[in-house]
Every structure is written in structure tokens, then in C-alpha cells.
Structure 1
Amino acid sequence: MSKIKIGLIGANGRMGKAIIQVLAASNRSTLSASVVKKDSVFVGLDSGIHSGLKENQILFHSDLAKACDASDILIDFSSHSAFTENLQTAAQYKKPIVIGTTGLTDVDRNLIKDLSMQIPIVFSPNMSIGVNLLFKLTEIAAKVLDEGFDIEVLDIHHRHKKDAPSGTAQHLKEILLKSLDRNEKNVIYGRHGMYPERDSKEIAMHTMRAGEVIGDHTVYFLSAEERIEISHKAQDRKTFAVGAVKAAEFLKDKSKGLYNMFDVLGI
């Protein structure tokens, strides 16, 4: 059986390297295109060598249409600035796509919903299998513990990350709000200065950006009697790459529609 051909957008970045490494070892999928920005200094370089592997003869280029022609499925881990063009091009060429780009707005999310009526899309704020278990466990805990516990969310990433809170932390917040029937008015982002006593429905979001932390997320549930911590700590970017490739393989033969990692993992 022939391998699934995967075109990678944002192939020269940290996640791009990890995905290329995962695809090089895959029995089901193979790298078919490695797309970078038009003005990138990496154009023309071998993507295998750049990723710490042997030469794979898949050169970095900036022609997304060419990548679509060469690929069965696309994975996008590029920048937010290229998101709209990438997604519209995927829809134009009828290519399923896995979206791993972070920092997306409500307008971007609406575009994803609209174009999922034309092509199959996997969109998740985090592709890690472990993080998606964190999402599910947070949902379960919130429904069980309800208003008897104060809730805090801590998001730690490397000093280079631009968006805060992270997409993963934002999704944890959304899970908590939905599970507890609360809204954005119940959320506080960090603390500074004097505050009144904590409201029982408050959900606090905290962000740290330091060092080279790949990604740590913890949800705290605290009562007067006990504390529950649900935590995930990424030790290697390959955890996200493995999930992204699994999501791409999930889209093989799927019809149009919007899917998430719960669909991919069957949880």
C-alpha cells in the first residue's frame, strides 16, 4: 500500500523539523513537500538535512499550489500572517488540512468553520496526545468538582513564544467555562495590586515565558480541604509532531467537516 503523501507548511520551524523527523520514520506517511515563506533564506535547501536527517531530496520552496499538487494532505504549522492564504489555497485545491498554527482570532476560527464545509479539517490548539487527555480530564474534573473548588490555570512556555495565554491554556479555559456554565466575565488574567476576596466563580489564568520550556500546563482545583492538580509537561516537540501526523492520517478518505483531536483519538 502506498504511503500517504503529506505536504508540510512552515517546514523550516521547530515544529516543522519535528514533523519531518516523525514522517521519516513513519510506515504510513511520507513527506511530499516542504513549504516556507517566499523570502525565506531556506528556499532551495534540503529539508532532510536541515532537520538533522540524511538528504531526502524534498527541497524547501514557497509554491503552495505546487505542494498541493504533490500531496494528499497538508499540515500547517506556519505563522498567523500566512494562515488565511494557506487555508484558502487548501480549499481551492480540495486538500484536507491539519491546522496547528497558534494565535488565531475569532475571525480565523469562523473561516475554519466556513471552509470545513468544503474540505476536511482537523483543528486543535494542541496536537499532543497527552495534552488532549489533559483536556478530557479537566472536563471531567470540572463537572464533578463544580463550585466547591477554586480554579487556577498555569501556562509555561519558552521565552520566544509570542501569544499569551497559549492556545492550549485558552482551550482549557473554554472547557472550564462550558463545563461550569460560566462566561468570560468570570475569568481573570494574572493579578496585580489589591483585590477583594476571590469570587467563588472566578477562574484565574497565569502565564510564564522563560528559558526553553517546551510547554507546561497545569489546572489547579483547590478547596479548603484538598488540592487537585491536572498537569502535562512536554519533554520533546515530537509529542506534538506525532499527534499532527496522526491527525493527518485520520483525514485520509474523510469527507468535508471540522474535526478535533478527540475525534482523531476516539475519546
Structure 2
Amino acid sequence: MSKIKVGLIGANGRMGKAIIQVLAASQRSVLSAAVVKEDSVYSGFDSGIHSGIKETGIIFSSDLEEACKNSDILIDFSAHTGFAKNLEIAVANKKPIVIGTTGLSDSEKNQIKSAAISIPIVFSPNMSVGVNLLFKLTEIAAKVLQDGFDVEVLDIHHRHKKDSPSGTAQHLKEVLLKALERKEENVIYGRHGMYPERDPKEIAMHTMRAGEVIGDHTVFFFSPEERIEISHKAQDRKTFAVGAVKAAEFLKDKTKGLYNMFDVLGI
């Protein structure tokens, strides 16, 4: 059986390198295109050598239209600024796409929903298998603990990360709001200065950006008698890359629709 041909957008970034490494070892999928920004200094470089593996013969290029011709499925881990154009080209070429770009606005998320009417899409704030278990365990804990516990969320990432809170932390917030039947007005982002006693329905979001931390997320549930912590700590970006490739393979036989990693993993 022929391998699934995967075109990678944002191929020269940290996640791009990890996905190229995973695809090089995959039994089901293969890298078919490596797309970078038009002004990228990496244009013309071999994607494999840049990613620390042997030469792949797939050269970095800014031609997404050509990438679509050579690919069955696209994975997009590019910068937020190119998201809309990438999605538009995917729809025009009827190419399934996995979207791992973070920091998207509500309007851009609505663009994804509209595009999913025409093509199949996996969109998730985090592709890691472990992180998606974190989402599920957080949902279960919140439904069991309900209003008897104070809730805090902490996300820690490397000093280069631009969006804050992270997409993963934002999704944890959404999981908590739904499970606890609360609203955005119950959420605070960090603390500074003097505050009255904590509102029992408050959900607090905290962010740290330092060093080279790949990604740590913890949800805390505090009661007067006990504390529960549900954590995920990424030790290698390959955990996200493996999930992204799983998502691409999941889309192979899909014709349209919007999916998340729960669908991919069957949880």
C-alpha cells in the first residue's frame, strides 16, 4: 500500500523539524512537500538535512499550490499571520488539513468551521496524545469536584512563545467552563494588587515564559482539606509531532467535517 503523502506548512520551525523527523520514520506516511514563508532564508535547503536527519530530497519552498498538487494531506504549523491564506488554498485545492497553528482569534476559528463544510480538518490546540488525556481527565475531575474546589491553571513555555495563555491553557479553560457551567466573566488572568476574598466560581489563569521549556500545563483543584493536581510536561516536541501525523492519517478517508484529537484518538 502506498504511503500517505503529507505536505508540511511551516516546515522550518521547531515543530516542523520534529514532524519531518517523525515522517522519516513512519510506516504509513511520507513527507511530500515542505513549505516555508516567501522571504525565508531556508528556501532551497533540503528539509531533511535542516531537520538533523539524512537528505530527503524535499526542498524548502514557498509554493503552497505546488505542495497541494504533490500531497494527499496538509499539516499546518506555520506562524499565525499566514493562517488565513493557507486555509484558503487548502479549500481551493480540496486538501484535508491538520491545523496546529495557535493564537487564533474567534473569527479565525469560525473560518475553520466554514472551511470544514468543504474539506476535512483536524483542529486542536495541542496534538499530543498525553495532553489530550489531560483535557479528558480535567473534564472528569471538574464534573466530579464541582463547586467545592478552587481552580487554577498554570502554563509554562519557552521564552520565545508569543501567545499567552497558550492554546492548550485556553482549551483547558474552555473544558473547565463547560464542565463547571461557568462563563468567561468567572475567569481572571494573573493577579496584581489588592483583591477581595476569592469568588468561589473564579477560575484563574497563570502564565510563565522562561528558558527553553517545551510545554508544561497543570490544573489545580484546591479545597480546605486537599489539593488535586493534573499535569502534563512535554519532554520532547516529538510528542506533538507524533500526534499531528496521527491526525493526518486519520483524515485519509474523510471527505469533510471538523474533527479534534478526541476523534483521532477515539476518547
SS at match of 2:213: coil
Residue 203 (structure 2) pairs with residue 188 (structure 1): no
Matched ranges for 1:152-167 at <5 A: 152-167=152-167
Shift of 1:159: 0.3
The total of aligned residue pairs comes to 267
Residue 244 (structure 2) pairs with residue 213 (structure 1): no
Identify unmatched segments of 5+ residues in structure 1. Answer: none
Q: Letter of the 1:77 partner, please give it.
A: F
Partner of 1:38: 38
Partner of 2:91: 91
Q: Letter of the 1:127 partner, please give it.
A: M
Matched ranges for 1:1-267 at <5 A: 1-267=1-267
Shift of 1:130: 0.1
Runs of 4+ with deviation above 3 angstroms: none
Residues in 2 aligned to 1:164 and 1:231: alpha-carbon distance in whole angstroms: 18
Q: Letter of the 1:239 partner, please give it.
A: T
Q: Letter of the 2:127 partner, please give it.
A: M
Residues in 1 aligned to 2:128 and 2:5: alpha-carbon distance in whole angstroms: 21
Residues in 2 aligned to 1:70 and 1:243: alpha-carbon distance in whole angstroms: 22
Shift of 1:255: 1.7
TM-score (norm 1): 1.00
Residues in 2 aligned to 1:62 and 1:204: alpha-carbon distance in whole angstroms: 41
SS at match of 1:130: helix
SS at match of 1:248: helix
Q: Percent identity?
A: 81
Residues in 1 aligned to 2:30 and 2:172: alpha-carbon distance in whole angstroms: 32
- 1:46-102 CA deviation, whole Å, 9 max, x = no partner? 000000011111000000000000000000000111000000100000000000001
SS at match of 1:225: coil
Residues in 2 aligned to 1:130 and 1:100: alpha-carbon distance in whole angstroms: 16
SS at match of 1:30: strand
Q: Letter of the 1:217 partner, please give it.
A: H
SS at match of 1:7: strand
Residues in 2 aligned to 1:161 and 1:55: alpha-carbon distance in whole angstroms: 29
SS at match of 1:54: coil
Q: Letter of the 2:170 partner, please give it.
A: Q
Identify unmatched segments of 5+ residues in structure 2. Answer: none
Q: Letter of the 1:92 partner, please give it.
A: A
Q: Letter of the 2:136 partner, please give it.
A: K
TM-score (norm 2): 1.00
